Amino acid sequence: MRQSRRGQVDPFIVMDVMEAARRAEASGRHIIHMEVGQPSTPAPAAALKALGQELAEPLGYTVALGLPALREGIAGLYRRWYGVDLDPARVVVTPGSSGAFLLAFAALFDAGDRVAVGEPGYPSYRQILRAMSVEPVGMQTRAENRYQPVPADIPEGVQGVMIASPGNPSGTMLDRQALAALVERTQEIGAALISDEIYHGLDYGQRAVSALELTDDVVVINSFSKYFSMTGWRVGWLVVPPDMVRTMDRLAANMFICAPHASQVAALAALTPESEAEAQANLAVYAENRRMMLERLPAMGFDRIAPPDGAFYVYADVSALTHDSAALAADILDRAGVAVTPGVDFDPVRGAGTLRFSYARSSGDIAEGLDRLARYMAGR
């Protein structure tokens, strides 16, 4: 059968690591998972309880923009977290942040448009753009800029700029001033600004700044996946300027009909104080994991690491150790029994010299993983 050119997106190299880890486990080995980008904890108990109680109802389609109570609840979160007074009409509930990217890219960009994406960055930005015939233009960000773009990094003539704070894989954040500079520059050049904020809530010192604190002329993307520990539920959201709501409504009705109803019910109950307390308890685990990582990784030789402001990743420059991070990751898995992610998926230019370590698992797992990594590095 015929296939399109745009459908030929790059494979995830991390899949090779995950498959190798799976084989190792199938053969009886014990593997510590520092490659995964998701919590190991379940959705908040209140979310599961609320869904359990609704299961007897027919969970048909919701309206395209999402359950009204959920959109109100999300608007309330912006008040609580950022002091931003947000009209719930501007909130669009989507099938995960993945659905939010699809919707935003369809609403903002035509075929042939160019969109700047930070490198290193979440690889699916590039691949979804390509699958929609939009050209991603890599911005090679610098360690001294916390692997975040600065205005001078934004290429000429782009129609959009994609930012992420905290970033994946870097975990670094844009502070208010750095974010304001990017807002200003994108407005100057007439490019759409898309702010991926899916790791908000997972920060360890400074609170993450939402682009909505600075401007309404932005498309903000967030999700229940990370802070609320609901990855597999596939509920994300967009906040859009008021004049984009109608476009989003029409596009969402056609492209998705709606986000999964049962998941929306669970997500609504994730916004209760009880659920947020549970999310904060998970955050305390990540904070302890991060403390261990920052104490021990540099000592064992992973000493060129990005400032880990948020999320649950440490991004390390290992170019002094290897020019083939995929091979290094494979060797670490083989000899140390720790799965880590080579940087090639995140940065097509420098990723062969970087690794991403996730600390989303239990503290016991992380401590054991660090022990294994230390022995591995000592034996190199």
Q: State which of positions 240-269 bind a second copy (CB under 8 A).
A: 240-241, 243-244, 247, 250-251, 253-263, 266
Which residue, 184 or 303, is less far from a second copy as judged by CB?
184
DSSP-based three-state secondary structure for 233:
helix
Nearest distance in Å: CB 168, a second copy: 13
**C-beta separation of 272 from 243 below 8 A:** no
Nearest distance in Å: CB 302, a second copy: 26
Tell which one of 16, 20, 25, 41 touches a second copy (CB under 8 A). 41
Nearest distance in Å: CB 30, a second copy: 19
Longest dimension (CA), the chain: 60
Does 275 participate in binding a second copy (rule CB under 8 A)? no
Nearest distance in Å: CB 253, a second copy: 6
Hey, CA dihedral for 252, 258, 260, 263, is it positive or negative? positive
**C-beta separation of 307 from 333 below 8 A:** no
Angle between helices 325-336 and 14-26 (to 10 degrees): 20
Does 217 participate in binding a second copy (rule CB under 8 A)? yes
Q: How many CB atoms lie within 10 A of CB 156?
A: 7
Nearest distance in Å: CB 241, a second copy: 5
Residue numbers 172-201 binding a second copy by CB under 8 A: 190-192
Of 11-19, 139-147, 164-172, 351-359, the window that binds a second copy (rule: CB under 8 A) is: 11-19
Does 106 participate in binding a second copy (rule CB under 8 A)? yes
Tell which one of 76, 157, 205, 232 touches a second copy (CB under 8 A). 232
Q: Encoding tokens for residue 26?
A: 């199938």
Of 90-98, 279-287, 294-302, 306-314, the window that binds a second copy (rule: CB under 8 A) is: 90-98
Q: Encoding tokens for residue 46?
A: 């209140």
Which residue, 62 or 309, is less far from a second copy as judged by CB?
62
Tell which one of 28, 60, 83, 379 touches a second copy (CB under 8 A). 60
* Mode of pairing for the β-strands spanning 338-339 and 32-33: parallel
Size (the chain), residues: 380
Does 308 participate in binding a second copy (rule CB under 8 A)? no
| Strand-by-strand arrangement of the 91-94 sheet | 91-94, 236-239, 219-223, 192-196, 160-164, 114-119, 135-140
Tell me the C-alpha distance between 338 and 369, whole Å. 6
Tell me the C-alpha distance between 218 and 354, whole Å. 31
Which residue, 155 or 298, is less far from a second copy as judged by CB?
155
Tell me the C-alpha distance between 148 and 145, whole Å. 6
Does 159 participate in binding a second copy (rule CB under 8 A)? yes
Nearest distance in Å: CB 335, a second copy: 26
**C-beta separation of 269 from 40 below 8 A:** no
**C-beta separation of 253 from 222 below 8 A:** no
User: How far from chain centre, in Å, is Cα 370?
Assistant: 24
Binders of a second copy: how many residues, by CB under 8 A?
81
Concatenated DSSP letters of 114-137:
EEEEEES--HHHHHHHHHTT-EEE
Nearest distance in Å: CB 148, a second copy: 22
Which residue, 88 or 96, is less far from a second copy as judged by CB?
96
Tell which one of 79, 87, 110, 364 touches a second copy (CB under 8 A). 110
Which residue, 266 or 306, is less far from a second copy as judged by CB?
266
Of 107-115, 199-207, 331-339, 365-373, the window that binds a second copy (rule: CB under 8 A) is: 107-115
Of 51-59, 80-88, 177-185, 307-315, the window that binds a second copy (rule: CB under 8 A) is: 51-59
Each residue 360-379 as x (binds a second copy by CB under 8 A) or -, in order, gives --------------------
Tell me the C-alpha distance between 267 and 43, whole Å. 9
**C-beta separation of 128 from 148 below 8 A:** no
Q: Encoding tokens for residue 19?
A: 């498959």
Does 44 participate in binding a second copy (rule CB under 8 A)? no
